[in-house]
Amino acid sequence: MSDQLAVDHYLCRDIHGEAHIVHQDELVRRTSVYALLQDDSGIVLVRGGSRPDELWDLPGGGVEPGEELTEALGREVHEETGLQLVGKPVKVCEFIEYYFDIWSETGWESKRHYFRAAASGTPVWNGNDDDVAGVRCFAPPIPVEVLTPVARKIVAMADETMISSK
């Protein structure tokens, strides 16, 4: 056995927590952006159309080839909420997630960038159930139980006063 290990397979968990081993050449790589979005009424969240639960998440999505991160953020926020970004978004964090989509049987490497941003306009949901099943503004503190696990962490990282854990 060689002393040097080749890292050519990745462990990807699916929505049920099951582990799948995926070769690096079979991973679909995607960069995405998400906004902890504040407007005059509070924090704007979306409910994902493909989620099996009723939890609320941060608006955002994939970065197109050649698109800057903040440009993609503005486009995704507008597509999902109807709002326009105001001022310069501030990066909260970034991470890489490996997951397995059970419906397409595909492993994903998702590099995610999270920003705190201000917005103007009126939140509007355009009925795109595949990506977004609803848009809602929450006045802080947001009940922790209505947020997706990742949204809970990002909101707490940005400002612990925005959530409550009754």
Q: What is the pLDDT of residues 133-165, one digit of tens each?
A: 789 999 888 898 999 999 999 988 877 656 555
Angle at 91 between CA 86 and CA 93, to 5 degrees: 145
Residue 104 domain-assigned? no
pLDDT at 1: 47
Asked if residue 150 belongs to a domain, the reply is yes
Query: Rounded to whole angstroms, how far apart are CA atoms 90 and 132?
Result: 24
**In which domain, by residue range, is 44 found?**
29-98+110-164
Percent over 70 (pLDDT), the chain: 86
What is d(CA 97, CA 86) in angstroms, rounded to the nearest whole number?
29
pTM: 0.84
Q: Which residue, among 112, 125, 107, has the nearest Cα to 153 in the 3D structure?
A: 112
Residue 86 lies in a domain: yes
Q: Is residue 121 part of a domain?
A: yes
Residue 80 lies in a domain: yes
Asked if residue 40 is part of any domain, the answer here is yes
CATH code of the domain covering residue 149: 3.90.79.10
Q: Is residue 44 assigned to a domain?
A: yes
Consecutive H or E run containing 111: strand 106-120
Is 105 inside any structural domain? no
**What is the count of structural domains for the chain?**
1
